[in-house]
Structure formats: structure tokens, C-alpha cells
Amino acid sequence: MSENSNKIHRLPRWLKVPLPKGEGYSRVKNLVSKQKLNTICVSGNCPNKGECWSAGTATFMILGEKCTRNCKFCQVYTLKPGAVDYEEPLRLAETIKSLSLKHAVITSVARDELHDGGSEFWAECIRKVKELNPNTTMEVLIPDFRRGNSALDRVIAEKPEVISHNLETVKRLSPEVRSMARYESSLELLRYVAESGLIAKTGIMLGLGESYDEVIETMKDARKVGVKVFTLGQYLRPSPEHYPVKEYVHPDVFAKLKEEGLNMGYAYVESGPQVRSSYHAELHVNA
């Protein structure tokens, strides 16, 4: 998005964050470890985990930590997944209760080898969390399941307050960056969620080589299908084997995109170098 997009050397000052610490951070870390749960905070190396964990919140990742897809941006392991842990929904619900969370975010790896893409397991997790935490609101960040609307219906039927599914990048770069997922299919999934009456949410990463106009077009595409919450954050390369960073986008550009998004009619636009899809998620139930 700038003339210096190929001159990538070191992290700019606005991407540097303090090391996580504090009693709240340690409490979440220890409880998640004790309950043998996964978090995208760790698996995705989220720069906000210090802030979020210190505040007593976390984004839980169900269905293991091995993914059946090989997206070029993602730090989650691409390996043959292990057996489904059917005790995980209860441990998840108990952990959320122990942390006294007012809002919980749940995501998962892709499990394309399962006959339903893991959708029934998703439904059971939502049911169990609601059963033990009736006053806790919930966002679920789901894969596309690749099973049509029948799999998606299982999640919608449990009525989490927000259903999120990330477009990840602009249309032109999607085939190159994402594994198996299609831009058009993701938009249709988001449309289906919005038409169900639940809050639809999505987000993309910047710095992959997209233009400003392509970002605007992506935001317009998502708004047209009924998405109410949009997130934009800086892509950070997990390793030399992953997709290269083409640009570190300046905070001023993120601020401008937030203004553009709000003018399009989004209820919430989270836009900044450190933003990830679950950032300030507790607010999005009001969309």
C-alpha cells in the first residue's frame, strides 16, 4: 500500500509490545495449562495476549492444535490431527466458569477429515459453555467446514451471540494465501450467518501486498452481505517458511480505514497494527 512495500527489515516501533506479566496473566496461563486446553493466543503468537490475559480473557482453540490445512500465513501446525477429545467441551466450560468470564471467544483448527467438519463438536462446546455459564456471552470464530449449510446450521442453532469467519485477505490474494478456502464461499457463509439474525463478523490482515483500494473493496463486499463487525490488523510472518511481509502498514492508514468502515455502516471496526480478530470482542455483542 506504499512505495516502500519491498523494503522490509525490522519491526517498526509501533509493533513492539511489552512482555506479558502480572497476576491475571499468570492465572489464565496456569489454568489453561492445567485443563489441557489450547489457545490461539499461544498457537497464533498473538501480540495482545499479555493485555488480554492480564485482564482475565483468552481465545480458546478447540479440536486440537493440528490443522488439516496449510494456509501460508498461519502458525498453527499443519499435521494429521489426533483423535477428538470428547471431554474437552466440559473442561472448556469449567475453565470459563473458573475465570468468571463475561465474554468468551472460541475458535478451532480446520478438521476436514471429520465427516461433519467438526460442526457437531462445535455445537456441543457451545451448549456446554452456556449450560455452565448462562450469563456469559460468546463469539465463535469458525472455519468454513466445507460441508454446506447443514454444518453451519448446527452452530447457528446454538445461538452464540457472534459468529465470526475471517476472509483473511483481499480477493486477489486469497487463492495464494489461503488453503482450500475460497473468497466467494466465505462471503456466502457470512451472508448465511447474517440472514440467520446473528451478528456476522469478519476480518483481514494487511501487509500481504494488497492495495488500499482492494481493502476498501473487501470491506464493501463484507458489508453488502450483512457483516456488522470488521477487523484489520498487521500480518506478521511466523517463520521464513511462511508468506513474506510486503509492508508494515502505518497506524495512520489503519485509522483512515476505520473511518471508512464506519462510514460504510459497520457497527464496529477494530483497525490497528496490533489488532487481531478477537480484540475487544466483548464489545461486539452489541453490534
CA dist 105 and 59 (Å) reads 5
Amino acid 37: pLDDT = 62
Other C-beta atoms lying within 10 Å of the C-beta of residue 122: 27
Lowest mean pLDDT among 76-90, 114-128, 185-199: 76-90
Q: What is the pLDDT of residues 230-254, one digit of tens each?
A: 999 999 998 888 999 999 999 999 9
Element (H, E) at 263: helix 251-264
Q: Which grid coordinates are listed for 149?
A: 449449510
Mean pLDDT estimate for the chain: 87
270-284: b (≥16 Cβ within 10 Å) or e: bbbbbbbbbbebbeb
Do 89 and 104 form a contact (C-beta atoms < 8 A)?
A: no
Amino acid 5: pLDDT = 43
Do 229 and 162 form a contact (C-beta atoms < 8 A)?
A: yes
Average pLDDT over residues 109-123: 94
Please check the confidence at residue 62 and state whether its pLDDT lies above 50. yes
Of 262, 207, 185, 208, the residue nearest 230 (C-alpha): 262
Percent of the chain whose predicted confidence (pLDDT) is above 70: 82
Span between the terminal Cα atoms of the chain, in Å: 29
Enumerate the β-bridge partners of residue 230.
202, 269
Amino acid 142: pLDDT = 97
Please check the confidence at residue 1 and state whether its pLDDT lies above 80. no
Q: What is the pLDDT of residues 145-185, one digit of tens each?
A: 987 899 999 999 999 999 999 999 999 999 999 988 999 99
Q: Which grid coordinates are listed for 118?
A: 467438526
pLDDT band at 57 (very low <50, low <70, confident <90, very high): low
Average pLDDT over residues 117-143: 96
Query: What are the residue ranges spanned by the domains of the chain?
Result: 20-286
What is the fold of 20-286?
TIM Barrel (3.20.20)
Percent of the chain whose predicted confidence (pLDDT) is above 90: 62
